[in-house]
Structure 1
Amino acid sequence: MASTTTAFNKLPIELNKEIVGHLECDKDIRTFQKICRATFYAIDGDQMSFWRKKFRETYDLGPGRDVDNLMLKKLYQRRSVVLDRGRKIPFDNGEEKTEIKILRALRGLINESFQGGGHGYDEYGRPQCPNQKHLESFALSSKLFRNFKHLISLGAKRNIQPALSAVQLMCTHFLFEVDEEKRFKWDIFPFDISQQTVYTETSKEALYTGPTKTQVNMLWMLHCVNFFRNHMIWEQTATLYRTFRDLEPGQKPSPWQGALQTGCYPLSKHWKGTYSFLEIDELVQLRASPADDDFVFMDKNVDEGNIQSLTLDFAKPGEEFKWPRLFEQHLDSFRLGLQTRTRAQHRAQPMIAESVGIQFSGQGDDNDHFYARGWLNPLPPQPLGCEIPGWQRITFMKYFLDSANHIETDALWAYEGVVLPGGRIILGRWWYAEDPTVENSGPFIFWAVDPEPEVVDLTDD
């Protein structure tokens, strides 16, 4: 029973609340509460207003949370216990009960980010919310990414649950730091497995699965992140490290900057990115290699440190860009799973669907100036049991123009990818569209950046 004779009993409840408000450790809060009745009521009295204040200082207050202080107390304490435990366990495949509880807690932090006010800015002036700080801390201090070295074959990866891969994908936003003191010092997977995965043919590793082909291949995306992160942050690879290191902070990958939204939504205008390829004979050899073969090929394009810029312009409501039939034949941007049935349709009639996507055009420089045209299409919240909203499918054709401003149809490069929730990172596969013999394909990554300042010439004429 709490003491009634301690000095804290003589203090006003407001002062005791002020004292406990400076205690950051949950263990210290519990200890303070047990000192006496006054400290107990400072925390659990006054209709538990302390817990509302503590919750709002610590987490984003999502929809439905702004009702009951007792509920906020329980949620705060449950999260504290689960996240603390989660920092100590080695994640396996996402099937264990403890893993499921931790993933649900992380999913809650992701889905409720930037809700309920209390948002601020990071050291570079980018929007940041309390939930992201917890996610970043968990990603860097836990074993969320540190138990996959046992994956010695492509077959073994099939055991990993999509819920685990999806949460990991959202946490990879925080893993692109190159500074030695801040950098996450582990690979997500062994690099040779990721390289073998990202170059696998579409028929064996489709980016979308399920009856309507709208379920993201989360594990492939995670391998894609690992592949490019390896090239970007490890100096010993001697590929993208120096180019990536010298980018300004606003030109590097960053977390989402607002609440996650469902459906289809325009993305940022300014992007940077890169892609990788192998020679055809290397592709054939890699794809024929045993799954446990740890031989690594030299990835092209990234070996020269190439990072390109891309600008995108999204069609406004009622506006349309020309969409060549040839592009659609390769990209299948209007496939059935990404469209909606019109209401005035009889069941016996053939399905007539209308697009719910957003069209865009773009351009950039990759040795030569190129153009892009494509579509964004909405994807359902996923994966099952750990639903995160905001995924989008992106398809576009990268093409060049001849001297008469006609599309060079023998130099078409098709891109299909996934926009991660929040719209700041795109991962996917490109392929040469005009070669029917061998699938000449490889991975790509794009990330949203700040507009680069215009260079003003101040010299005299």
Structure 2
Amino acid sequence: MPRSLRSTTGGSRLQPKPKMQPQTKTHAHAHTRTSAHRYARTFEILPVEIRQLIADCFEDDKDVASYRLICKSTNYSIDEDEGSFWRTQFLNSYDPPESVPEGDRSTVNEWFKQQYQSRKRAEGQKFVFDSGNSEEEANCLVLFKDLLIGACERMDIPTMLLIFQPDTFNTSVCKAKKQSVHSPNMDRIERIAKAKGLLDCVLRRPTTRANKSPTNPVLLAIQLILTHLSLTAPLSSKMAKVWGFPDTQAVVYLPNSSRPIFKGPTCQEVDIDWTLHVASFFRNYLLSKQEPTHIHYENLDRFERPQGWTKPLSTSPLKLGKHWKGTYAYVDHDEIAQIRSGFHEDYPVQDHMCGEDTAETFQDLRLGFPKGQLEFWPDIFEHILKSRAKIEYRTPTTRAQKRATGPDALPEGEPVSFCFKGGGEDASEKFQASGWFNPLPPQHGIPGWHRMTMMKYYIDESSGQPDLDSLWAYEGVVLPGGMVMLGRWWSPTFDDGPEYSGPFIFWNVDASMPAIADDTQTTG
């Protein structure tokens, strides 16, 4: 028996425990009130700036709500100083807005509060994207549009300081401490897209049987704009999956006569659905392990793959990059009709890719932007491509739009298309190119789209002149941000049978190139 259990007389008995005085509810509540008062007093003696700084450290808004419940001083600190906490929260979470409403400090901070809370509510909705027609999806699409239009503001300007004046609140751009290389909006776009499955349902039939309505065109437009995310998705990700590939294959080989890329009364409306099919078509070949193209794509450096944009979206001509990489697909002439008729579902037709039998799997293109007119743009090029069709679109005058203005932007009211010349390699064979970029109006409320037309030609070795019997016409869409082009190539000199055409893709790879002087001459 343990010694501790023996009595002093040698007997064995358990020692009774001393009785504890029960704590009354009054005592317990008094202790709680004392502790709460002590904690409250701790916060009350702190300046409001410190109390707000503590709240700034919380990454989750639920923690901010809990912080407000600690005591009156923490609750009031969120809205004290004329609501400056909400301005700070917005600017820490998103790119700075292009403009803020006029008014006194409290009025503008209230605007920041409303903007912040509205965006957070849309982010916090529990749903997964399907057809884009539910209320939750529609609210989130509005958020995506706001984030896309405001993305990269912080990256494009020096450090933005918020200048307070006695009766007004203004934003001013001061001499930079350091230019930011990070866009919170772009991070949020990617995070929300993954969380809500925005890119998991590209061209997928709606999963809800009752949902017979067509897919929301705004959803299609945003999915298209975010092509760079779907083309760099992990192979195990749902974003890498391509739905209904036979349908996609049939669509991308349709000729311009039956499925033009640009439609509407003035041909300024992008066929979003067709262009999205092109993006899905190439995603199938670039991200599918069983496709030979995937091996070469996988071997590309990170900066040789599609990238996000780094300039604010604008309706002005964009400063497009000079170095591009891409590919195109084709099938034999006698297989075109089979694909276009839909018979390829029972008898699949294998697509061929640029340079698949050579070491140069991808097509490289280098662009230059002459200050004057193109040296070589014969009438036959214009007859085929109709590149010089003037789009009467005024050059915007806001600060961000001026910064994103392209080469030799013309005065307000003048046509704003601009030319380029270039060269590159296709399956180790050198080619030349001439073409035009034409800015387009916003599509579904999102600016930054361009029409691209280009004639690809070869130089006859014997004469040293362009071989006009071997022309390849290109027409496509430059997606907002100017980092990806998608479109159609065709043979304008092939008169035997239906139009011989197919899809192409280019993406900008300036980030993979060494720094070069910013001239306007063509390289290559």
In the superposition, the TM-score normalised over structure 2's length comes to 0.75
Q: Partner of 1:448 in structure 2?
A: 508
Q: Mapping of 1:414-425 within 5 angstroms?
A: 414-425=473-484
Does 1:220 find its partner at 2:274? yes
Q: Secondary structure at the match of 2:431?
A: strand
Q: Deviations over 1:31-50 (max 9, x none)?
A: 22232211112211111111
Q: Deviations over 1:237-291 (max 9, x none)?
A: x222111111111111001111112122341011101100011121110111169
Q: Partner of 1:249 in structure 2?
A: 302
**Bigger Cα displacement from structure 2, 297-306 vs 28-37:** 297-306
Query: How much does 1:420 deviate?
Result: 0.7
Structure 1: where are the runs of 5+ without partners?
342-352, 455-461
Q: Deviations over 1:410-434 (max 9, x none)?
A: 1100000001111110010000111
Q: Partner of 1:346 in structure 2?
A: none
Does 1:90 find its partner at 2:143? no
Q: Distance in 2 between matches of 1:306 and 1:113?
A: 33
Does 1:258 find its partner at 2:311? yes
Q: Which amino acid aligns with 2:433?
A: A
Q: Partner of 2:436 in structure 1?
A: 375
Aligned CA distance change for structure 1 residues 434 and 126 (closer, same or farther; 3 Å)? farther
Q: Partner of 2:225 in structure 1?
A: 170
Q: Partner of 1:36 in structure 2?
A: 71
Q: Secondary structure at the match of 1:438?
A: coil
Query: How much does 1:6 deviate?
Result: 6.0
Find 2:353's aligned residue among 296, 301, 318.
Answer: 301
Aligned CA distance change for structure 1 residues 9 and 131 (closer, same or farther; 3 Å)? farther
Q: Partner of 2:325 in structure 1?
A: 272
**Bigger Cα displacement from structure 2, 27-36 vs 44-53:** 27-36
Q: Distance in 1 between matches of 2:220 and 2:285?
A: 21
**Bigger Cα displacement from structure 2, 373-382 vs 319-328:** 319-328
**Bigger Cα displacement from structure 2, 183-192 vs 305-314:** 183-192
Q: Partner of 2:37 in structure 1?
A: 5
Q: Mapping of 1:168-247 within 5 angstroms?
A: 168-177=223-232, 179=234, 183=237, 185-187=239-241, 189-236=243-290, 238-247=291-300
Q: Which amino acid aligns with 1:411?
A: S
Q: Secondary structure at the match of 2:443?
A: coil
Q: Mapping of 1:13-32 within 5 angstroms?
A: 13-32=48-67
Confirm or deny: 8 A CA contact 1:57 1:118 kept in the other structure. Answer: no
Q: Distance in 1 between matches of 2:222 and 2:321?
A: 23
Larger radius of gyration: 2
**Bigger Cα displacement from structure 2, 319-328 vs 101-110:** 319-328
Aligned CA distance change for structure 1 residues 138 and 446 (closer, same or farther; 3 Å)? same
Q: Secondary structure at the match of 2:507?
A: strand
Q: Distance in 1 between matches of 2:346 and 2:85?
A: 55
Q: Distance in 2 between matches of 1:285 and 1:132?
A: 42
Aligned CA distance change for structure 1 residues 53 and 188 (closer, same or farther; 3 Å)? farther
Query: How much does 1:141 deviate?
Result: 2.1
Q: Deviations over 1:117-141 (max 9, x none)?
A: 6989xxxx99430000011112222
Confirm or deny: 8 A CA contact 1:6 1:36 kept in the other structure. Answer: no
Query: How much does 1:105 deviate?
Result: 0.8
Q: Partner of 2:116 in structure 1?
A: 76
Aligned CA distance change for structure 1 residues 313 and 201 (closer, same or farther; 3 Å)? same
Aligned CA distance change for structure 1 residues 9 and 286 (closer, same or farther; 3 Å)? farther
Q: Distance in 2 between matches of 1:445 and 1:117?
A: 27
Q: Which amino acid aligns with 1:391?
A: W
Q: Deviations over 1:5-34 (max 9, x none)?
A: 361442213332232111111122122223
Q: Mapping of 1:59-74 within 5 angstroms?
A: 59-65=94-100, 68-74=108-114
Q: Partner of 1:110 in structure 2?
A: 148
In the superposition, the TM-score normalised over structure 1's length comes to 0.84
Q: What is the Cα-based RMSD across aligned positions, in Å?
A: 2.9
Q: Deviations over 1:80-124 (max 9, x none)?
A: 111221x623321x344333221111000000112256989xxxx
Query: How much does 1:320 deviate?
Result: 3.6
Q: Distance in 2 between matches of 1:34 and 1:58?
A: 23
Aligned CA distance change for structure 1 residues 88 and 188 (closer, same or farther; 3 Å)? farther
Q: Which amino acid aligns with 1:297?
A: V
Confirm or deny: 8 A CA contact 1:193 1:294 kept in the other structure. Answer: no
Find 2:139's aligned residue among 83, 101, 104.
Answer: 101
